[in-house]
Amino acid sequence: MIETIDRTALKALLDGRAPVRLAEALPPRYHAEAHLPGAVNLPHDQVAQLAPTLLPDMAAEIVVYCASATCRNSDIAAQHLQRLGYGRVRVYRGGKQDWIDAGLPVETGAAQAA
């Protein structure tokens, strides 16, 4: 079963400068519109192809998110990551909408490099 993380805990990790990688499991156009600061674009249907390049450290803490609590792309991507051998994967179920609704910052533009 995939562990989850809520907004408060995720923000605390990021504010504490914890070494965590954020991955947005949505198509590139949605990532370009807005994404959590520093997030890489890892569409749920391209995990096997992109993860080795975007997330080369399989022992790193990774938080995957998607659009909102009703979106399941993050769960799908997290399951793929676990099957590939990534050991520290969590899902931020509230997703981008929860983050934005809380007034927290987002970035715009093309996908971030690893």
Q: Are 34 and 106 in contact (CB under 8 A)?
A: yes
Is residue 85 a contact partner of residue 58, using CB atoms and an 8 Å limit?
yes
CA distance 1 to 98: 22
3.40.50.720, 3.40.250.10, 3.30.420.40, 3.30.460.10: CATH of 1-70: 3.40.250.10
Express each pLDDT in 32-86 by its tens digit: 999 999 999 999 999 999 999 999 999 999 999 999 999 999 999 999 999 999 9
pLDDT of residue 114: 42
Q: How many angstroms separate the CA atoms of 10 and 98, rounded?
A: 12
* Residue boundaries of the structural domains of the chain: 1-70
The Cα–Cα gap between 83 and 95 comes to 22
